[in-house]
Structure 1
Amino acid sequence: MNTSAEAVAELGADPLQRSAERLFWASVAGAAGFALLAVLLTLMRAVPERAALLARLRTMGLRRRQGWR
């Protein structure tokens, strides 16, 4: 009869188990990459709107230093 430690070691050495673990971590990394890409694209899309807003506020007396904040 196998002990639980031996059973865990046997399952951990299974090639299918290792492949599933690699696939899981690759999926996690891919999801993190897509999340970062979504944030960056959202920020890039907001740049023209922010520039127009700052231009309007500058015409109303906003200083450049205040715009940076």
Structure 2
Amino acid sequence: MPAHNDYLVLDADSSQYGSVATALADQHVIVDGPPGTGKSQMIANVIAAGTAAGLVGPAGMDEQDLLRVPS
């Protein structure tokens, strides 16, 4: 696993690790799933790993903005 996964703050399964790696590679990520599948955990891990890597994060956005589904 890539070194940036050392900075994940919440448990993640293999698909979440892949989503975090994709997001940190500056690619677009769409995370879809029913309630309770770890979407919010993945967002928290992207923010933590991105911050640790010195990447710019979504500063000033609240949780509802981060979790909003585009129409």
Larger Rg: 1
**Do they fold alike, i.e. is TM over 0.5?**
no
How high is the TM-score relative to the length of structure 2? 0.28
Higher relative contact order (Cα pairs below 8 Å, separated by 6+ residues): 2
